[in-house]
Chain A
């Protein structure tokens, strides 16, 4: 497979045109006859006791078909633990009430559901549900929440998770240092702000199966839905649609359980679609962190010890906080060889909006800290920031802080050199406008925690005319996941790309492929499709070898034909070969399961063990102009250089990296979900600003392809890594421009001016 015909080509994704012209049918575009409209009543208080819920006035409103409170659904709780796996151990305390009954713990928590003939009636019904609240003291700061006597949001002490790494001898490491650099870093809540708010339609079909057509990153939530509402797992079917973005915000359950309950109770189709404001109120956020870093270094910049304390605000319920904080712990050191490491991470419950998965899953926060820290080390020692990193960068064969050996290529130095070179000539200062440059390197896992025993299945089949169908339950939230699967099958089976069809996921139709999270889908489902297609290829070539009287290794498939490699005129159309195979009963389809490596959990006392299948490495470099009188920061140029292992579709990879880069620039400079006393002060996209197309110039992308990843054809993952190094690179550039440290995101004009004073 040395010379690729389809893989590695910047092909136009099959879903691109229909999205561009508005023809793609998203979850909210789906209508059913007799469909009802659902609405959710939400708590106006961040912390309160519910004294009484009386839905009788709402039930009496003409057009209201159903009002559900916790009492009507058996006080159901939903397990919000990591979804979609077979080998997991369930965490204690991970369940959340579907509808609150005795207490609300955050503003926006669901209290009741309504289904009505029209959306207007459903909305009016919400106003008629009488809920009496008794406001309770809340706690809104993780540091406060850890103090004795703080209001308890999560039993018994608000501690949702703790993780630690103990590697080497930390005391000796600091004793060996010439200098110790100590700083505290802070990052804010961030909203996913995907284009498509949460939405779906559910109905009970003639078999009694609850169908839920929904925008999600996780098809396997059908299990959680079944368990939560008390039906067998084979009675819930989830139909995916192309999702209008997810970024981790559709990894947790959003509307699925509400839809299932309303459909089950009304026996009619029900639609539920959040407004933008409800979306911001109701779904998870990126974790704010307080990160205290202490790094011991030799005069030449070599790190002797690193001690980090990470404090994450988990919000009112755990959701994925235990795992996000674990990722932060594992990646707390950055991609550096450090013999003596001590990391303490804690995720703490508060009455703030709950936090969970967001592109990077706990990777970007410590990256901000460790890459700011590297520049502070360079500043203190008077060394070049690249030199300080260069002598500490991980290399293939080194071990991470958890003792995991890195087997794939580590092109950190090359990525940094290439990114910095590409910035070109330095823009000069102009009066009060100071220009600065900065960069950040990172490592970020792809694939899930290995003790989750992750698997993906894909079914590939040839039709009698030589066309191909892929059935793989991989949600595609816009990254081109399905299109890449088509490219892989096209490559292996020698079928023109336009002759390959991949269905959007449906638990009744497509084999389970696991979540589109953790930058795992190309790695896992790409490998599953590769396995399935390879099995069919073997069948085809074996049968063809008898026909041509040649060894199968001397035959190849391309452009819809099978042929003899060194005599391509001896060939036949693939469709003919397929018909021969079919007539002889040879299998023309294959269901493959790809398994990630299975490991046991890390040692809870030392954090030692293998955690992830592999890592992606790279560097982001940026030039900024800082207006020292107004504090405004302008991005002048930016370059992202990542080793993606193998770019299956370079156009899609570049798109992912540019999108991630700009999302990261927003994280650095603009995005700030302001929460005061549990209330979101930026409740709509008028207050919560995300970058527009004119805010930053296009990021230049440099792809490195080491071919050493564990994905298909040596691919690594790039979905999340694209974002991880951006914010610290920008911060380093601003610090370079103004000469004083900035250790908090976002870097707003006011924050810059404060730093300058």
Chain B
């Protein structure tokens, strides 16, 4: 039995939000709405495997990722990373969350250097150069990130996630909005990594190419979990959900 890298048990996350006040009474005594983003979620991810998380918009994928990264705390349930609480394992997690998590008002180099120091990378200069060369943004390394193209921002965000060579990589739609060449390059790199990877994507091809197992999430719940070989079954389930968010790229 392979070692469990991530264990999720009976996870639930609720968000409480106030409704827009419609009148003076509601302005002073606002009504609240509770949204369940993740519900009764159980999942084990094994060391070294790449698990793809599919699901329509609003399924709770990003919330789940934020819970795993320690950005959010669960309402109930438990997450263990290598049998320890998330808070104690943040240093072993690399996170890519859209184009966020990087400072546009600093250069690419300063961004990577900052995160390298925070994640206690010793020889950070050579690591920064290695990643900049790998993702082909060495020429822009000393430019402000605000001047980067979407693709270069995406590469920098991925480099940020990898700067400390983490054991677990959590990638939220890593190729969203990127052109075919950049997407291909990032996919190729991810495929070559010997790490535990959790990846959300809307792209069927990406999931099929990169993942060992595929999980389908809907309305906060895990509705299907299959090996790569049964990928078509997952897609069929997805279609049956009445959603057609998985596009072919």
- Asked if chains A and B come from one complex, the reply is no
Q: Which residues of A contact B (CB under 8 A)?
A: none
